[in-house]
Structure 1
Amino acid sequence: MLIKIVEDVDLNEAYHYLQDPGAGGIDLFVGTVRDHAQGKQVVKLVFEAYAPMALNEMQKLAGAAQQQWPIAKLVMVHAVGEKMVGEPVVIIGVASAHRDAAFTACRFLIDELKKTVPIWKKEYYEDNSVWVNAHP
């Protein structure tokens, strides 16, 4: 498993890590900073995490996914720090023998990460900013 909290997300590292001769399906989700939120223009986001707890929760999610699906390799990487519109913030990747398991496990991991992992974001708009839970 490749599970990290980082300053900069490396898409190539994630994809190369997921390579496995027994995996016929690789699902790679990349979450990026969008240019709007709550009806306002977003200028940038700033992410903070309590890394020890976040990594522990990410490990738990990875273990739960491995118990439910036949996963060959798994990636969960989330960025912290300032991120501009279009920049990658989170990568979830799953390699499995078949695409269905890869898709389903990947969806489970991103959905649960957003619910349980202690990562917060501050949204900067043109006129103000606000701290929000990164996970609705």
Structure 2
Amino acid sequence: MAHSLTVLYFAAARERAGTSRESLEVPAGTRVSELLGLLASRHPGLAPLLPHLRVAVNQEFSAPDAALPPGAEVALIPPVAGGAEGLFRVVDRPLRLEEVVEAVSDAARGGLVTFSGAVRNLTKGRRVLRLEYEAYPPMAEKKLAEIGDEVAAQWPGTRLAIMHRVGTLQPGELAVVIAAAAPHRKEAFRGCEHAIERLKQDVPIWKKEFFEDGEVWVGLGP
């Protein structure tokens, strides 16, 4: 017996597959690893990416041997460069640091630490013309909120807010803004640092760098 599912492709996987989404019929009990084999046969350009991909099923990372439920939404997640109290958004407009500051500030939290990540004009000596950020928005916002939960659990009383921009950014424009507020400065510093590091690990947001002599998805190499 077969059932249908939807496959979403992002960043380098989208380019290799030549599509951003497709619907497939697969046998009942098909596992994640088996689906990847099927997709590689349908889109041969995907095969070299498979060792680098993670798979999300219904917006949760999944193991290779996990069975796919009927009607699943399966996302192929290349390397990335809710419920928490705070603000967690992926937007396609210019960022303002004041937005995240306002989201976490109150009279009970005397320590406030912020981080602004702007596009550099040089990477390893190569001049950057522009960056293009792409995201899987619902899952990205869910993972950002989970980082907020982690910070609140590890440093009680700490509130976090993260906003990340997608689309085309020029050197000097803000790609991400983060604010952490806590009753004391030490927890605010640690919460902000934790957010910066975790953002690079599990949040499905990708960055493509464009240079005078080429382009590259960050995390996959040339």
Tell me whether the two structures share a fold, i.e. TM-score over 0.5. yes
> 2: CA distance between counterparts of 1:120 and 1:133?
9
- Tell me, which stretches of 5 or more residues in structure 2 are unaligned? 1-85
Q: Secondary structure at the match of 1:110?
A: helix
Q: CA deviation at 1:72?
A: 4.5
Amino acid in the other structure paired with 2:127 = Q
Verify: 1:108 aligned to 2:194, yes or no. Answer: yes
Of residues 20, 24, 36 in structure 1, which corresponds to 2:122? Answer: 36
> 2: CA distance between counterparts of 1:110 and 1:36?
21
Deviations 1:79-110 (A, max 9, x none): 10011111111111111110000000100011
Q: 1:121–1:132: 8 Å Cα contact kept in structure 2?
A: yes
Q: 2:151–2:160: 8 Å Cα contact kept in structure 1?
A: no
Q: 1:71–1:94: 8 Å Cα contact kept in structure 2?
A: no
* Aligned match of 1:71: 157
Deviations 1:107-128 (A, max 9, x none): 0011011111111111011122
Deviations 1:61-80 (A, max 9, x none): 11111100123432111110
> 2: CA distance between counterparts of 1:124 and 1:71?
41
Verify: 1:128 aligned to 2:214, yes or no. Answer: yes
Q: Secondary structure at the match of 1:121?
A: strand
Could you tell me the TM-score, scaled by structure 1's length? 0.92
Could you tell me the TM-score, scaled by structure 2's length? 0.57
Amino acid in the other structure paired with 2:88 = I
Q: CA deviation at 1:17?
A: 2.2
The structure with the largest alpha-carbon Rg is 2
Structure 1 window deviating more from structure 2 (10-19 vs 97-106): it is: 10-19
Q: Secondary structure at the match of 2:120?
A: coil
Q: 1:45–1:83: 8 Å Cα contact kept in structure 2?
A: yes
Question: What's the Cα RMSD here?
Answer: 1.5
Higher relative contact order (CA 8 A, sep 6+): 1
> 2: CA distance between counterparts of 1:40 and 1:98?
41
